[in-house]
Amino acid sequence: MPAATTNKPAYAVFSTAIGRCALVWRGGFIIGASLPEADDPRLRARLARRFARPEEREPPEFVAEAIALVRRLLAGEKLDLADIELDLSGCSDFERAVYAAARAIPCGETRTYGELAEAIGQPGAAQAVGLALGRNPVPIVVPCHRILAASGRSGGFSAPGGVATKFRMLQIEGAVRPGAPSLFETLPLAVRPA
C-alpha cells in the first residue's frame, strides 16, 4: 500500500492520446480522475468544484505509476487498471459494488447496464446502475465507458465530451461485445466515431 502523505486532496494534470486528464489523490489512494475539458483552466475549475480545492502537486510514485498506466491504456495498449488502489469511502455500498463490477470488465469488452446490475445481484436495477456510473469519481480507472444501453447505444456519458469521448475511448480499446463483431462494425455509419 502506498505511504500516506497528507489528508488534503492533491492532483496532477497530464497529457494523453485523448487530451489532458487528471488524477486526484489523498494520502496513499487515488480518489478521483477527470477526462479532458476544453482547456486546462476548465479542467482545474472542475477539479476544484468536485474535490474541495485540491492542490496541484508533483505526483508521488504511486500516482506517477497510475498516470503511466492511464497513458498507455489511452494510447491503445490492452491494460487492466484494477491494481490502482482507490479510496471510494465517500461512495455508497451500491456504488462501490457497481464500480467493482465495472472494473472487472476486461479492456476491449463492453457490458450493458442490465448485465452490470445482474453482476452485482440487483437484476432490474439497470437505471440505478446508470445513475451510479454517472457519479463515478474515477472515470478511466473505473471504466464506466465500457457500459452501454441494452440496444448497443451509448446510454449517455456524463464526463466532459459526452458520448463522443465514450466512443473514442471504446474505439481506442477495440471494443467488442463478447461473441459479437466490433462495436463499431455494428453502428450505422452516421454514428460511428471519426
Residues annotated as catalytic are 144
Contacts (Cβ under 8 Å, ≥6 apart) of 130: 113, 147, 155, 156
CB 182 within 8 A of CB 175: yes
- 3-state SS of the chain: helix, strand, coil percent to 5? 40, 15, 45
- Grid coordinates of 26: 489523498
**Cα 53 from chain centroid (whole Å):** 21
CB 116 within 8 A of CB 85: no
